[in-house]
Each structure stands twice: as structure tokens, then as C-alpha cells.
Amino acid sequence: MSAKENLWAKRFEDVLAIDEIKRRADRPARPLLCLEKDTIEHACFRIESELREVFVTTSRAAEILQKFIEHAYSHSLSRYSDVPKFLGQCYDGLADIEPYFPHILTGPAGTGKTQLGQALIRILPLASTIQPDTYHPAIPLIAVRHVAIKTTKSLPGVLQTLVRSAHTSGVSGSRSAASIDACARWQYICGTSLLIADELQFISQSSNASTRIAQVLLGLSYLLVPTVFIGNYSLIHRLRKRPQEERQRLLGMPLILLLPDLPSSADWASVVKEYQCAVPGVYQFDFVEKRHELWSLCAGLKRELIKLLIVTYRRCRRDGKTLVCWEDIESSYRSPDFFDQRTDVEELIAQSIDGAKGRDDLRCPIPTNLSLENEYLQALKDIRSQNLAEAVMRDAMTKAERMAVKREQVAPPSPSMRQPKRQVISQGRVKKLSVKDLQENAARHRSQLPK
């Protein structure tokens, strides 16, 4: 390795383009077979495990991933410009290096923030070794470090997970500053260019306590490595109550929002299509054709959709069925098994309608004049309008009309009709039906019934 060669930065050059990011990040579905031969609970376990592993790199996810990778690349370019500078800072310390303001990735629970962090790890180069010159042994070369705060709830415990066992004693003392300095030095030696800290809201189980959270986050922000904190809305609400000097350090960068994909977007269609590929032949309706309806039952939250699919499958198996129809999905949504999730979905819809403060874990902690947030709120409002319109139409129908509509919903489309229908729907909804349109359609349907 020559003195001027920068292998620390070179390792990121192949993963800067969006196409390569998507190729490495995507985790396609692996079809599950013979689920009917499993016990009910094991089949549900297989479905949940597989759906949680599926990752579709949506346009928003690719944008966020590229931002983090570019930040890591910039760090390597500036902090490892040549071998003499690197060795000098290894021996002399890092006192002249200014810490970064951390990036905070937030959004409603269940949008896939943790999955995005795992995708980032898949994209970046694997750990290896590097020998700076002939006088020094090979040292680790680590692009990204990941810490799950869910099980490690104190700063010393977090710091110990970031160093090898031989250096643990250097970060286990009572002096926080010395522990942070030792850990920062080790990260620099290893070439760590990105640190991901996830599940931060679990540091404290108290709904009001935020001191421990702030302590851990401040400690990590002084490791002199670009840092990504991943947490739900509730984390940000807690941090906003901290003293000004802590807020300036922890919230110094704009929050990065990861919101659900819109129901009419190609990204949402790709997600539900991949979910169906994981369970071929189990659900007797096309996920893409029903993508708007599925979105309305989970508010676009992937975790809630997975829960609904599993609840429905379990209920069907208990009833002696191995196939799931759309009516089963609607029934499961209204069932006690989906009560908590349904409460969250309806709370999100209610907050979008009346602008009420609502729960901190569901309320965006920053002003909602951003286009991303406004689009999501409008999609939630559309759900409310659609539900009201459908309720008006049902109330206007006679018993015979309701039975006729039910038969039409249950009957599967003929093979000759399936493909044209898929082609038409995949272009998106051109016009949303009003209440008047639905009432006129109901009256027209009534007039066509046999006397």
C-alpha cells in the first residue's frame, strides 16, 4: 500500500450509484411451500419470518441509503487522506477532530426503519484487514458498525459492544470521557466510517424519562464517526424536551423521515407483490389489484399488514381452511386478534382528519408542511372519505342488493377476465368516486335486478 493511496475511501466507490444500491439492498421473497402440512403456529412462524425478511428498495429508501453511504465515503476521504496522517492520529490521538451531528431516521412504528438499517449493512463492504505499511501489522477494516440498543441500555454497555475484547478494559471504567475517547480511537483505527444505533426508544421503559437516552446518544455522537440513530416518533418527542445544549447536539441535523409508501405508488405495488410471492397459492386474491384496500387496512404500515395477513391465515386454518379469500381479510381486520393494530390505524386516520394532537408515537414531531408528510396525511384522509362513501352506499342498498354484491365479491373472476382487469387497475385510479356517484350506481344496480 503506497503512502498516498486511500483504500479506506476506495471501498465505497462501487456502492455510490443508485442501481448498485438497489441491487445489493433488495431481498426478494423466497416462496414458502407446503404450509398446509405444517402445524398452524409453525406455518404462521414461517410466514412471518419470511415476510419480515423481504425488502424492496423503494425510491425513498434508495434516496436515504445513498445519503448515508455518501456520508461514510466523505468521512473516509477526509479522515484517511494518506497513510502518514492515519498513523500519526493513531499514535497522537484524535483531539483535533470535530464530532459530527448525528442523522436521526424516524417515522411511525412499522415503516421498515430497522430493515433499512439492515439493508445498509448488506450494501457496504464486508469487514476485512489492511496493512498500512511494512512496519505495522494488519489491522481491521470495518465499514459500518451496528448497535441494537434494545438489549444494551447504558453507555458503558454500548461502548463495550463497539470494541474487541482486548480493548474492553479501556472503556469499562467509571470515567465516561476516557471511555468515549478509547472507543473513538478504536473506531478510527478500524476505519469505521458509519455507526448505526437502532431501537433507541427501548433505552428507558418510562414514558417520561429521557436522561438515559440523551446520555447514550450524546456519548455515541462523540465517537467521531458519522452516526445514524434509528428511532420512532416517541424518541424525538422525548429529545425535544431536553435542555437546549443537548437538543443542539442531537437534533442539529434535519430529521430524515421514512413514511409509508402511498397506496397509488409503484413502490407500494412492488412491496405487496413481493409479499404475495412469498406465499404462493395461499391468498385467493391478487395483492396488487387489492393494494388500495390493503393499504387502507394498515395505513401503509408494513408491520401491520404482515400482522393482518398472519392473523387471517391463522383464523382460516383454525376453521379448517388452507386458502384465504378477501372476505377473510376484512373479517380479521374487525376481529379481536387485530384490535391493537386496528386501533393504531384508526387513530392515524383520526389525527389526519381533525388535526388533534393524538399520541406521541403516532404524531410526527416536526411541522407537517413537508410534502412527504402532507401526501401521507392526504392518503389517510382519502381512506376516511372512501369508508364514509361505502357506508352510505351500503345503507342505501336493499337486502337483495347486498346479497348480490356479496356473491360478486366471493366469486373468483374467470381466467379470461383476470389479465385485462389487472392491466386496467395497474394504471392507477383515474377518478375517485363521490358519494353521489356511489348512490347512482346503487340505484342503477337496483333497477337491473329481476322483478
Distance CA 382, CA 323 (A): 31
Q: pLDDT category, 436, cuts 50, 70, 90?
A: low
Distance CA 380, CA 17 (A): 33
Q: Say which DSSP state 324 is in.
A: B
Looking at 63-72, 152-161, 178-187, 366-375, which range is the least confident one? Answer: 366-375
Q: pLDDT category, 348, cuts 50, 70, 90?
A: confident
Alpha helices for 205-338 (secondary structure H)? 211-221, 233-239, 244-250, 266-278, 291-298, 302-318, 326-333
On the question of pLDDT at 414 being above 50, the answer is no
Determine the Cα angle at 94 with ends 90 and 100, to 5°.
125
**What are the phi and psi torsion angles at 274 (to 5°)?**
-70, -35
Pairing label, strands 139-141, 128-130: antiparallel
Other CB atoms within 10 Å distance of the CB of residue 450: 4
270: nearest Cα among 417, 62, 440: 62
Q: Which residues contact 236 (CB under 8 A, 6 or more apart)?
A: 104, 106, 251, 255, 365, 366
pLDDT tens by residue, 285-305? 999 999 999 999 999 999 999
106: nearest Cα among 303, 299, 260, 257: 257
Burial of 109 (0-12, 13-18, 19+ CB in 10 A): middle
Q: What angle do helix axes 291-298 and 339-354 make, rounded to 10 degrees?
A: 90
- Altogether, the residues listed in the chain come to a count of 451
Other CB atoms within 10 Å distance of the CB of residue 100: 18
Distance CA 120, CA 228 (A): 11
Q: pLDDT category, 360, cuts 50, 70, 90?
A: confident
321: nearest Cα among 369, 284, 354, 293: 284
* Assessment of whether the complete model's pTM goes beyond 0.85: no
Percentage of residues in the chain having pLDDT higher than 90? 50
Distance CA 152, CA 159 (A): 10
pLDDT at 448: 56
Region 364-374 average pLDDT: 69
pLDDT tens by residue, 225-258? 999 999 888 888 888 889 999 999 999 898 999 9
Q: Say which DSSP state 205 is in.
A: -
How far does CA 151 lie from the centroid of its chain?
A: 20
Q: In what order do the strands lie in the sheet with 103-106?
A: 144-148, 194-198, 227-230, 103-106, 256-257
First to last CA, the chain: 90
Alpha helices for 397-434 (secondary structure H)? 399-410, 415-425
193: nearest Cα among 225, 229, 221, 163: 225
Mean pLDDT of the chain: 82
On the question of pLDDT at 188 being above 70, the answer is yes
The answer to whether residues 356 and 350 touch, using CB atoms and an 8 Å cutoff, is yes
Check residues 166 and 257 and name the one with the higher pLDDT: 257
Percentage of residues in the chain having pLDDT higher than 70? 76
pLDDT at 168: 47
Q: Which residues pair with 206 in a beta bridge?
A: none
Distance CA 211, CA 222 (A): 17
pLDDT at 322: 93
Q: pLDDT category, 416, cuts 50, 70, 90?
A: very low
pLDDT at 427: 42
